[in-house]
Amino acid sequence: MASKPDKTSGRESSKPNLGKRIIALRASLEISQLELGNRVGASAMSISRWESDNKRPPAKYLIKFGLLSTPLECWFFWGQAGLTIEDVIRVMPRSKGGRL
């Protein structure tokens, strides 16, 4: 009898668990789903769906999660939104002396 394929194998296992990262962000801020929703402009129900991986947050919320995060976590969320370091550097204003 053939066994069923593991649902976490292949592409699925390489996908970051975004829900757990959102839960960890909320825990580090010591806030409720309602408060996180208020801070990013989403409902508590949306936060719940995103934390349980039932829905994927749109990029604008991933960027806001990054802004609430530590620098390391920021890049995780921004990467999930499709941003790269090069994207951010490209649009940063430069001073007249060529420095940031």
- What's the CATH architecture for 17-91? Orthogonal Bundle (1.10)
Q: How far apart are CA 95 and CA 33, in angstroms?
A: 40
Per-residue pLDDT tens over the stretch 20-77: 999 999 999 999 999 999 999 999 999 999 999 999 999 999 999 999 999 889 999 9
Hey, how many other C-beta atoms are within 10 angstroms of the C-beta on 55?
13
Q: In which residue are the tokens 């390489």 written?
A: 14
What angle do the packed helices 18-29 and 33-40 form, to 10 degrees? Answer: 100
Cα–Cα distances in Å, from 95 out to 50, 88, 100? 39, 16, 6
Tokens, residue 17? 């668990």
Instruction: Give the residue with greater pLDDT, 5 vs 69.
Output: 69
Residue among 73, 93, 85 nearest 26 (CA): 73
